[in-house]
Amino acid sequence: MNYPYDTERSFKNTIDWWLLGCYIVLVVFGWLNIYASVHGDEEASIFDFATRSGKQFVWILSSLGIAGIILFIIPPRVYEVISPLLYSIVVFLLIAVIFVGTDIKGSHSWFQFGPVSFQPAEISKITTSLMLATMMSHNGFKMQGRNFWITVAIILLPMLIIIAEKETGSALVYVGFIFMLYREGLSGWLLSIVGLVIVVFILTIVYSPFIGILIALVLISLFDAAQSKSLLIWALVAIPLIILNFLVSERYQLTAISVEAVLYILYSAFMAARGLHQKFRWATISVLAGMTLLVFSADFVFNDILKDYQRARIEVLLGMREDMSGVGYNVNQSKIAIGSGGLLGKGFCQGTQTAYGFVPEQSTDFIFCTVGEEWGFVGCVALIIVYLTLIFRIVLDSEHSRNAFTRIYGYCFASCIFMHLFINIGMTLGLMPVIGIPLPFMSYGGSSMWSFTTMLFIFIALDKDERKYF
């Protein structure tokens, strides 16, 4: 494409070096950790192609090739045009893989071509993001009515197919698009209620319906407080709650929560008596009713709808069951590996848990364990900061963009990284169920490396394209 301007800024000035920097740091750091996690007694070179670190090197090189193609060859404007086609192809592949795919660990989500296997679910994130961006950047798009349902359908279609492939973890990532939707005009209520439902569901299962209702009360009070923008209520309800959750031992947490709930009820009664902030009363009441329903249905859902392995994973996650040899083994080993790292870690290639294979899926889904064990608390926090920087830059670049396509795509991308990051790290820390999704840019594997690189560089290219003129 020819641009009629000769004021075009150079590559050096238009590319977001922060993004590129974060990318390189993550990829190299990931590669080192893969080397460390498979490094046993025999000293193998990091480039040894027989080892995972050697293969990852190949993935990295090929990813750089992909990055080059996206940056220098593919014109950024072409995505808007071809995204419906790409989306359709990928949806087709997603369906096809159910029938012709290879069964890997119980899920039918991989195509196998000789030694190379490939997972359409990984690419689906890209095409769905592009599709959403195309669709939502049309002039006159509004987050309501038909438009809204089309948007939801675009997200749900691949998501449901992936669930059918028994790749629940990958499907969960699509929930993240709600953040993008929120940015693009979805009501904050919806976002809040989705969060609320999840929290109350878990609490009901772990403790009792009574506690579930109490917590629902407390959380509604939080929204109430946020809406009335009263700092006093924030101080009264939210801050002690957050502190309590981290500091108070499990035994007293419930007591503390009950006290909070009683305080809130008293406060509400007081406010109601004085006839203040009636505005949100209807919302509060309806949400409360919904929560109560949910609380009583949670038991049913948990016991009758969820599958055995799903229930097992949730039970282990929620500490209802300590099963160190079965499902709980992974999480326990992962926590041991990370916990044994301490403040500064054991040093590169010095990890005993990682090098000797105590943690399963050490170089793929549980790569964070190696970071935790060998680089310690400091290394982990630094790594999280790098990811945060990456997400921050994407969000800020998106906000600065005058092009809705770029912005929406950027938010989709940021949501995907966010979901992967928190599910993956949360899982290794025992905060999330064991859901097999990779840590972006770091986990071993060609599919995920290629797809995240592609996603990132499409964004960099879109961003660069705009910067040329401003």
Partner 1 sequence: MTIEKHSKLLFGLVLFALVLIARLFSIQILDEKYKTSADNQAMFYQTIYPARGVIYDRNGKTLAGNAIVYDIMITPKECQGIQFDTLELARTLNLDVEYIRERFDYYRKYRRRIGWQQQIFAKRVLPEVYMKFAEIMYKYPGFRGVKRSVRSYPINAGGNLLGYCSEVDDNYMQKHPGIYRPGDYAGRTGIEIAMEEELRGEKGYNIFLRGSNSQIKAKYKDGEMDLEAIPGKNVVTCIDADLQSYGQRLMENKVGAMVAIEPGTGEILALISSPGIDVNMLNDFGANYSIISENKYRPMFNRAVAASYPPGSVFKLVNGLIGLQEGVLTPETRYKCDHGFYYGNKRLGCHWHNSPLDMEFSIMTSCNAYYCYVFKNILENPKYSSIQERFDRWNEMVHSFGFGQKLGSDFPSELAGNIPTSEFYDKRYKKNWNAYSVISLSIGQGEIGCTPLHIANLAATIANRGYYYIPHIIKASDGVEIDPKYYQKNYTMVDTTHFQKIIKGMYKAVNAGQGSGATAWVGEVKGLDICGKTGTAQNPRGDDNSVFICFAPKDDPKIAIAVYVENGGFGATWAVPMASLMVEKYLTGEITRPEMEKRILEGDLMYKVKPY
User: What is the contact surface with partner 1 in residues (CB under 8 A)?
Assistant: 40-41, 179, 182-183, 188, 246, 333, 335-343, 352-353, 355-358, 372-373, 376-377, 380-381, 384, 388, 391-392, 395, 398-399, 418, 422, 425-426, 429-431
Residues 6+ apart with CB under 8 A from 44: 50, 51, 53
Q: How far is the CB of 212 from partner 1 (least distance, A)?
A: 21
Cα 43-48-53 angle, rounded to 5 deg: 90
What gap in Å lies between CA 308 and CA 96, rounded to an integer? 27
Q: How far is the CB of 403 from partner 1 (least distance, A)?
A: 16
Residue for token pair 């010095």:
350
Instruction: Decide if 466 contacts 402 (C-beta within 8 A).
Output: yes
Closest to 38 (Cα-Cα) out of 54, 23, 24, 25: 54
Look up residue 51 and give its two tokens.
């080892």
Q: Which is nearer to partner 1, 171 or 395 (CB)?
A: 395
Which SS3 state, helix, strand or coil, does residue 324 take? coil
Q: Return the sign of the alpha-carbon dihedral for residues 340, 345, 349, 350.
A: negative
Instruction: Decide if 145 contacts 191 (C-beta within 8 A).
Output: no
Q: How far is the CB of 367 from partner 1 (least distance, A)?
A: 15
The DSSP output letter for 174 is G
Cα 174-150-424 angle, rounded to 5 deg: 5
Instruction: Decide if 267 contacts 236 (C-beta within 8 A).
Output: yes
Look up residue 312 and give its two tokens.
């097992």
Residue for token pair 């020819």:
2
Q: How far is the CB of 457 from partner 1 (least distance, A)?
A: 22
Look up residue 104 and give its two tokens.
């890997």
Q: How far is the CB of 255 from partner 1 (least distance, A)?
A: 20
Instruction: Decide if 194 contacts 177 (C-beta within 8 A).
Output: no
CA quadruple 342, 346, 352, 354: dihedral, nearest 10:
80
Q: Which is nearer to partner 1, 124 or 340 (CB)?
A: 340
Instruction: Decide if 94 contacts 162 (C-beta within 8 A).
Output: yes
Residue for token pair 């109490």:
214
Q: How far is the CB of 345 from partner 1 (least distance, A)?
A: 9
Residue for token pair 């150079």:
10
Q: How far is the CB of 130 from partner 1 (least distance, A)?
A: 21
Q: How far is the CB of 190 from partner 1 (least distance, A)?
A: 13
Q: How far is the CB of 333 from partner 1 (least distance, A)?
A: 8
